[in-house]
Amino acid sequence: MASDTLTPEVEAAVKAAKDRLDAHTYEIVQWHFHESTGCPFWLEKKKEFNFDPLTEVKGYDDLKKFPLFEDEWLRGGPVRRWVPAQYQDKPIYVFETGGTTGIPKSRIAIDDFRTDYSNFSETLPEKYFPKGANWLMLGPSGPRRLRLAVEHLAQVRGGICFCIDLDPRWVIKLIKKGQMDQLEAYKQHCIDQAITVLTAGHDVKCMFGTPKLIESLCLGLEEKGTTLAEAGITGIFSGGTEFTPQWTRYCIEELFGGGPEESGIYMTPTYGNTLMGLACSKPVTAEDGYKISYYAPQPRAVTEVVSFDDPNELVGFGETGRVKLTTLTKEFFVPGFLERDEGEREMPYLTYPWDGVSGVRPFHGFASSTTVGVY
């Protein structure tokens, strides 16, 4: 690591975080591969390995012994094969991701989404995300983790969450069929639901939205002669691959009318998915060119930026590579999953003393065939 560019304080934090990650990795691997605690999938898959995870995985770097995680393993059932032995009697959620064509990927969940969003709650500035405020969830509904997660976020902060109906798979079908008039009508249907909530006297101050939907909401309110700030919104948490410095600048300067001090609206981007949870962003500022850098919630999940040619080799800081994800919770173990995204490797800093990733965008290897939809 380029230690000459890190302060001694950050260096010490990096080492402490690495030690914590090694200890956590050992604990999670022991859990998922021991007969008394493991899930049927990993206990069966272990027979194919040429190593013993219980004795040969001592720390994070040893996870390279595993083959890359294949998302096909998550398509189809029985979904209970992913439930660890000690959780078989717990209430189980199933969340879907993908599935625009064929069978979607499914993952089980018990409390991971609550833990992830309770932790995320601690990062939100109370000035703009006041405790007790109500929330609007302007994003996918149905079998998606995000809906329940945002609802939990509102509840853990003492508020009530208002949700809309939104089926992203229908959006993607319309795009693929080229039915852009239908797409526009469906988007308007979603925005109408959101405006109804915001203008119904429910005292909604915070919201989740994807970039495209935030933009449409702002324009929809403008048509009605009002603004997001006048509708009472002060804090926005957003996510999606459409989050670029260009869009962020446009959103803050044009749609909101300036930064938080000027407009009264604070927006924080996040990078997350059903497998990992939620990566927070370094504060986004005009001085930094609206650059967006994400940091995974270690040690529960790790993101690395790896070589396009060798998924076990990190690229240098500032260099471009593919995003590799590892999830390490007692509910779910995903060693080395190559994401559909690429980006640049970012330096650790004191708040998040581990690698980050910036410039996240669809992986160029199949970017042209990826339909992004509402994101």
What tokens does 80 get?
């209970």
Burial class (CB in 10 A: 0-12, 13-18, 19+), 165: exposed
Burial class (CB in 10 A: 0-12, 13-18, 19+), 22: middle
Burial class (CB in 10 A: 0-12, 13-18, 19+), 130: middle
SS3 state at 312:
coil
pLDDT tens, position by position, 337-362: 998 889 999 999 999 999 999 988 88
Q: Which domains does the chain have, with CATH numbers?
A: 74-361 (3.40.50.12780)
Q: What is the pLDDT of residue 4?
A: 53
Which of 201, 199, 250 is CA-nearest to residue 225? 199
Range 134-149 average pLDDT: 88
Instruction: Please compute, for residue 183, the number of CA atoms within 13 A of its CA located in the half-sphere on the CB side.
Output: 17
Range 361-369 average pLDDT: 73
pLDDT tens, position by position, 242-266: 778 888 889 999 999 998 999 999 9
What tokens does 154 get?
């509102």
Which of 311, 128, 162, 314 is CA-nearest to residue 235? 128
Give the separation between CA 252 and CA 229, rounded to whole angstroms.
Answer: 12
Mean pLDDT of the chain: 90
Q: What is the pLDDT of residue 20?
A: 98
What residue type is assigned to position 276 of the chain?
M
Residue 3 banded pLDDT, cuts 50, 70, 90 = very low
Range 195-223 average pLDDT: 94
pLDDT tens, position by position, 146-201: 888 999 999 999 999 999 999 888 988 898 899 999 999 999 999 999 999 999 99
Range 111-117 average pLDDT: 92
Q: CA-CA-CA-CA torsion for 64, 66, 68, 71, nearest 10 degrees?
A: -140
Residue 142 banded pLDDT, cuts 50, 70, 90 = confident
327, pLDDT greater than 70: yes
372, pLDDT greater than 80: no
